[in-house]
């Protein structure tokens, strides 16, 4: 992988289970600087520490554009740039089709990557 010295931002990677943290570990093993964005600052910071020294964990609600812009500014201020973005954050609603209401649909599509 051509990740040595690349700054890789991974959303939703603080969970103990899931592909985000595994992606972060793999990228770090290939020399990337990892930035984990998650709703919970403490969990994001802990996940970054778990990966190793020199990585960063920040709080960011990916459904809030202003929060994303603030996080991007913080990343650039702390590590200089963003080379790779992995839009990993996502949620699901364990509902049957006929149980899905507008609020459930909106919650899923607001977190999962989408286009305006």
Q: Is residue 110 part of a domain?
A: no
Specify the pLDDT at position 89: 84
CB atoms within 10 A of CB 15: 15
Question: What angle do helix axes 41-51 and 19-29 make, rounded to 10 degrees?
Answer: 40
Q: Which of 3-17, 34-48, 59-73, 89-103 has the lowest mean pLDDT?
A: 89-103
Q: What is the mean pLDDT of residues 11-23?
A: 90
Q: Is residue 16 part of a domain?
A: yes
CATH number, domain containing residue 78: 3.40.50.720
The verdict on pTM exceeding 0.85 is no
pLDDT tens readout for residues 61-93: 998 999 999 999 999 999 999 999 999 887 666
- Residue 113 CA to residue 90 CA, distance in Å, equals 8
Q: Which residue has the tokens 């996940």?
A: 47
Specify the pLDDT at position 100: 74
| Number of domains the chain is built from | 1
Q: Check: CB of residue 33 under 8 Å from CB of residue 58.
A: no
């Amino acid at each position: 992988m051509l990740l040595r010295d690349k700054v890789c931002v991974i959303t939703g990677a603080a969970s103990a289970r899931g592909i985000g943290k595994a992606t972060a570990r793999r990228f770090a093993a290939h020399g990337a600087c990892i930035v984990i964005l998650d709703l919970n600052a403490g969990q994001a910071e802990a996940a970054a520490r778990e990966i190793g020294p020199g990585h960063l964990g920040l709080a960011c609600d990916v459904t809030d554009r202003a929060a994303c812009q603030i996080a991007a500014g913080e990343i650039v201020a702390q590590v200089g740039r963003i080379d790779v973005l992995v839009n990993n954050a996502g949620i699901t609603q364990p509902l049957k089709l006929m149980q899905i209401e507008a609020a459930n649909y909106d919650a899923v599509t607001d977190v999962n990557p989408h286009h305006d």
